[in-house]
Amino acid sequence: MKTKHILVATALTACLAIAKEVRPPAPVAEVTKVEAAVDGPLVQIAVLLDTSGSMQGLIEQAKTQIWKLVNEFITAKQDGKTPVVQVALYEYGKDALGSKTNWIRQIQPLTRDLDKVSEELFALATNGGEEYCGAVIQRATLDLAWDANPKVYKAIFIAGNEPFTQGPIDSKQSCKDAIAKGIIVNTIHCGGEAQGIAEHWNQGALLADGKYLVIDQNQAIVHIEAPQDKEIVKLNEELNKTYINYGAAAPAAKARQVAQDSNAAAKPESGAQVQRIVSKASANYFNSGWDLVDASKDKSFDITKVKEADLPEEMKTMTVEERKAHLVKKTAEREEIQKKVLTLNKEREAYVATQRKESAKNDTLDTAMVKALRMQAEKKGIAWEK
């Protein structure tokens, strides 16, 4: 079993030429669900996670810090509007994934369903395998529904610690192909900076306008508890009461929401619970497929077109006007709670900034990614509140 690993996503047969040259087959395409078109600015981020044996620390960081990554765009604007964030996930380098796919699996396509992303992260497990960066970058580049608009910030973040050039697919060419489609490739080496350079992690970033980053995958996330935390957690209970379930997908989706609240709460040392609640108070936590409040934000939404059988029990006996009034009420309640959470979070961030000390010499996954994405997104005209 290898002891180092890498964040990547691509699928080709892992054949090695022994007596003669073997031409690798075409990549294995996956059926990618394409979500409804976004009306306004868009950010697309693919995170490629190595799930081979020694990467358990990296997976633990990803489980708890995905919310912090999304939250970076809460106060961001492009052309006066807050960008919608879509996240995709791949895992690679695990024996169970199989050689036919180069030990690669698409976990989630580009999606706004953050509860599903969290659910999948908490389900990840590690074991040994082969880690092919070039292959997984190629897969992510070809499989995902990347937006063609040049103003969209599109980025791949791949992390690991095996040589970047391993595998049947040329990693340099994969990076060139990605940037040709406007997709920046950021490489995150889990280990020493010099070792990462020796194993060509920096070259991938250079070829695709990205940033070469170094992290300690086994370092614990440093969370500073703030006076606002308890009130933010309390507000989450009220926030959950504003969801109006509808349709066949609602029971499972609501259960997923509750489960991911619990998963985040079970990691108090990481700060995941507060970061998740802040995400839920933002426009990027969007559940129009099962929640009427979010569904009603679509200009074409018409409550009269929702079948009675798809409504929650308390709304089935209501008149059309009562249903409209109920929806307006819940929408207003949610907006008020979200406003309170975001206000508290601003106060919280100010408090944390005054308390933070340079206690850790190395970046963790979240801090490394934030450093890169802010600088790169600004080049796309995305600006942050000062």
Q: What is the pLDDT of residues 232-287, one digit of tens each?
A: 999 999 999 999 999 999 999 999 999 999 999 988 777 889 999 999 999 999 99
Residue pair 42/84 in contact (Cβ under 8 Å)? The answer is yes
pLDDT at residue 49 in the model: 87
Q: Per this entry, what is the length of the chain?
A: 386
- Which residue in this structure is represented by tokens 């868009």? 42
Q: Angle at CA 230, nearest 5°, toward 225 and 235?
A: 135
Burial of 359 (0-12, 13-18, 19+ CB in 10 A): exposed
Sheet (strand 183-190) strand order: 104-111, 84-92, 42-50, 153-160, 183-190, 212-215
Residue pair 215/50 in contact (Cβ under 8 Å)? The answer is no
Residue pair 102/136 in contact (Cβ under 8 Å)? The answer is yes
pLDDT at residue 15 in the model: 29
Residue pair 174/27 in contact (Cβ under 8 Å)? The answer is no
pLDDT at residue 145 in the model: 96
What are the structure tokens assigned to 75, written together? 């106060």
CA-to-CA distance for 214 and 204, rounded, in angstroms? Answer: 13
What are the structure tokens assigned to 343, written together? 């206000």
Rg (the chain; Cα; Å): 22
In angstroms, how far is CA 235 from the centroid of its own chain? 24
- Where in the chain do CATH 3.40.50.410 domains reside? 42-220+361-384
Angle between helices 250-265 and 272-280 (to 10 degrees): 140
Query: Integer distance in angstroms from the first to the last C-alpha of the chain?
Result: 47
What are the structure tokens assigned to 289, written together? 């497929």
- Enumerate residue ranges in the chain where pLDDT < 50: 1-34, 358-360
pLDDT at residue 125 in the model: 82
Q: Does domain 42-220+361-384 have CATH number 3.40.50.410?
A: yes
For residue 144, report the phi and psi dihedrals to the nearest 5 degrees. -80, 155
CA-to-CA distance for 66 and 267, rounded, in angstroms? Answer: 13
Residue pair 156/48 in contact (Cβ under 8 Å)? The answer is yes
pLDDT at residue 2 in the model: 39
CA-to-CA distance for 259 and 254, rounded, in angstroms? Answer: 9
Residue pair 117/92 in contact (Cβ under 8 Å)? The answer is no
